[in-house]
C-alpha cells in the first residue's frame, strides 16, 4: 500500500470519473514544509501562525515574521500557501499579552476579535505577510470571522498597510487571494453574502462542529456530541460550498474532517475544492479519491443530507463508499 501511495506523490488528485480536487497540508512552522513536499502536497491550506507567537516572551518582530513567511513561500516553490493570521485565545494563550481570564475563552476575545482591537499586533503581521508576498503564491486568511463587518475591517487594514508599503517603495504582490475561515455558524449560514466579498472560504470544522453542536472540543464528557457526520454539519458545509460556487469562488476545508476517510466521500460529493490535512494523510487521501466516482458521491451526499443522525450517515458511507 505504501508503494502504491508513493507513486501518487507527484500526481494530481483526480477522482475515478475525472474530477480534480486539491490536496494541501496544514503546517505550524517553516520546518514542516519538507514533509509537505515529501508527501506530495499541492499547497499549504493552513499555516497556523500562532506558533510564531507562542513559546517566546514577547511578540515576534515584523522581521522575524517576514523571514518565516518568506521561507515557507520560497520552499513551496510557487504552490499556493494559505497563511492564517493570528488565532490566539481559546485553547491557545499568550502569557505576555496579559489578557484577563475569561469564563468562556472559546466564545471570547480571541483571533480576529483580538487582532481588530490590538491593531499594533495585527498590522505588524499584515506588513510581514505583504512584504513576503513577492516570494511565492500567498493567500491570506482571517480566522473566526463572525460578521461581514469584521471581514471588511480586517480587509481594510490589509489594504491600508499595502498602500503604505507601496508608498515606501516596497514591492507587494497584486495577486494575493484573501479569504476567511468558516468556523462560526453565523458565517456558514450567511455564506452567500460573504461569497460576494471574499476570494475563498476554508471551512474550519474543528471549531464549526464545536460551535454548531455547543460542545467544547476539549471536553471528554461531551465528546459524543462532536459529530462531523451530523447532517446539520453537512448542510452547513453544503451551504458554504454552494454559496462560493455561485460567485465563482472556491471552498477548502482545513479542519480534521478534511483528512478523515469516512468524510472524504461526502466532501467530494458536496463539491469541496480543496482538502487541507496533516501531511501524512495526503497520499492515502489521494489514493482513496482516485477510486471514488464524484458523480456517485454526489448522490451519496444527497442521501446523507436527508438523514437524521450522524450514525446513519456513517453507516451509509461505510456501506457504499469504502
Ligand atoms: C478549525 O477550527 O477547524 C481549524 C482548522 O482551526 P484550529 O484547529 O486551529 O482552531
Ligand atoms: Mg479554528
ipTM for the whole complex: 0.99
Residue 183 known to bind ligand = yes
The CA 90 to ligand 2 mean position distance, Å, reads 9
Choose among 262, 312, 300, 261: nearest CA to 284.
Answer: 261
- Active site residue: 112, 254, 258, 272, which one? 254
Atom of ligand 1 nearest to the CA of 205: 3
- With pLDDT > 90 as the criterion, what percentage of the chain qualifies? 92
Residue 31 known to bind ligand = no
The CA 32 to ligand 2 mean position distance, Å, reads 19
| Grid cell of 236 as nine digits | 452547513
- For residues 135-151, average pLDDT: 98
Choose among 224, 216, 309, 316: nearest CA to 265.
Answer: 316
Give the model confidence (pLDDT) of 198-245 as tens digits. Answer: 999 999 999 999 999 999 989 999 999 999 999 999 999 999 999 999
Q: Is 183 in the pocket of ligand 1 (CB under 6 A)?
A: yes
Burial of 222 (0-12, 13-18, 19+ CB in 10 A): middle
Only one residue has cell 460573504, namely 194
Q: Is 50 in the pocket of ligand 1 (CB under 6 A)?
A: no
The answer to whether 321 and 292 have CB atoms below 8 angstroms apart is yes
Q: Which residues contact 22 (CB under 8 A, 6 or more apart)?
A: 13, 42, 43, 45, 252, 273, 274, 275
Supply the mean pLDDT for the chain. Answer: 96
The per-residue pLDDT for 44 is 98
Q: Is the pLDDT of residue 273 over 80?
A: yes
The answer to whether 296 and 261 have CB atoms below 8 angstroms apart is no
Site to probe by mutation for ligand 1, drawn from 28, 207, 209, 218 as the one with most ligand atoms within 8 Å of Cβ, is: 207
List the shell of residues around ion ligand 2, using CB closer than 5 Å: 183, 204, 207
The CA 293 to ligand 2 mean position distance, Å, reads 30
Q: Is the pLDDT of residue 91 over 80?
A: no
Q: Is the pLDDT of residue 2 over 90?
A: no
Give the model confidence (pLDDT) of 6-49 as tens digits. Answer: 899 999 999 999 999 999 999 999 999 999 999 999 999 999 99
Atom of ligand 1 nearest to the CA of 143: 6
Site to probe by mutation for ligand 1, drawn from 107, 111, 183 as the one with most ligand atoms within 8 Å of Cβ, is: 183
Choose among 56, 61, 36, 34: nearest CA to 46.
Answer: 36
Q: Which residues contact 264 (CB under 8 A, 6 or more apart)?
A: 258, 275, 285, 288, 289, 292
Only one residue has cell 470519473, namely 17
Closest residue by CA, ligand 1 atom 4: 204
Q: Is 228 in the pocket of ligand 1 (CB under 6 A)?
A: no
The CA 263 to ligand 1 mean position distance, Å, reads 17
Reduced to 3 states (helix: H, G, I; strand: E, B; else coil), residue 86 is coil
The answer to whether 129 and 165 have CB atoms below 8 angstroms apart is no
The per-residue pLDDT for 6 is 84
Burial of 306 (0-12, 13-18, 19+ CB in 10 A): exposed
Choose among 253, 228, 227: nearest CA to 240.
Answer: 253
Amino acid at each position: 500500500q505504501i508503494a502504491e501511495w508513493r507513486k501518487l506523490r507527484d500526481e494530481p488528485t483526480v477522482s475515478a470519473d475525472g474530477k480534480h480536487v486539491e490536496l494541501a497540508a496544514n503546517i505550524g512552522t517553516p520546518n514542516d514544509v519538507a514533509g509537505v513536499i515529501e508527501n506530495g502536497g499541492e499547497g499549504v491550506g493552513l499555516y497556523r501562525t500562532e506558533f510564531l507567537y507562542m513559546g517566546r516572551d514577547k511578540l515576534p518582530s515584523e522581521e522575524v515574521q517576514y523571514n518565516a513567511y518568506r521561507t515557507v513561500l520560497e520552499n513551496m516553490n510557487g504552490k499556493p500557501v494559505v497563511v492564517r493570521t493570528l488565532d490566539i485565545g481559546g485553547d491557545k494563550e499568550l502569557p505576555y499579552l496579559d489578557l484577563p481570564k475569561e469564563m468562556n475563552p472559546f466564545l471570547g476575545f480571541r483571533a480576529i476579535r483580538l487582532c481588530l482591537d490590538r491593531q499594533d499586533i495585527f498590522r505588524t503581521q499584515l506588513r510581514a505577510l505583504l512584504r513576503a508576498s513577492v516570494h511565492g503564491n500567498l493567500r491570506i486568511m482571517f480566522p473566526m470571522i463572525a460578521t461581514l463587518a469584521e471581514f471588511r475591517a480586517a480587509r481594510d487594514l490589509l489594504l491600508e498597510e499595502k498602500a503604505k508599503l507601496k508608498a515606501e517603495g516596497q514591492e507587494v504582490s497584486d495577486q494575493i487571494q484573501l479569504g476567511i475561515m468558516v468556523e462560526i455558524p453565523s458565517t456558514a449560514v450567511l455564506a452567500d453574502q460573504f461569497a460576494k466579498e471574499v476570494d475563498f472560504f476554508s471551512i474550519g470544522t474543528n471549531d464549526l462542529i464545536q460551535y454548531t453542536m455547543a460542545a467544547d472540543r476539549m471536553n471528554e464528557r461531551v465528546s459524543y456530541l462532536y459529530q462531523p457526520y451530523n447532517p446539520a454539519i453537512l448542510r452547513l458545509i453544503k451551504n458554504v460550498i454552494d454559496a462560493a460556487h455561485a460567485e465563482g469562488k472556491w471552498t477548502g476545508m482545513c479542519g480534521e474532517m478534511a483528512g478523515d476517510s469516512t468524510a472524504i466521500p461526502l466532501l467530494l460529493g458536496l463539491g469541496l475544492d480543496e482538502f487541507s490535512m496533516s501531511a501524512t494523510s495526503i497520499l492515502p487521501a489521494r489514493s482513496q479519491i482516485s477510486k471514488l466516482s464524484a458523480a456517485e458521491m454526489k448522490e451519496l451526499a444527497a442521501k446523507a443530507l436527508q438523514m437524521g443522525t450522524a450514525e446513519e450517515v456513517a453507516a451509509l458511507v461505510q456501506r457504499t463508499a469504502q
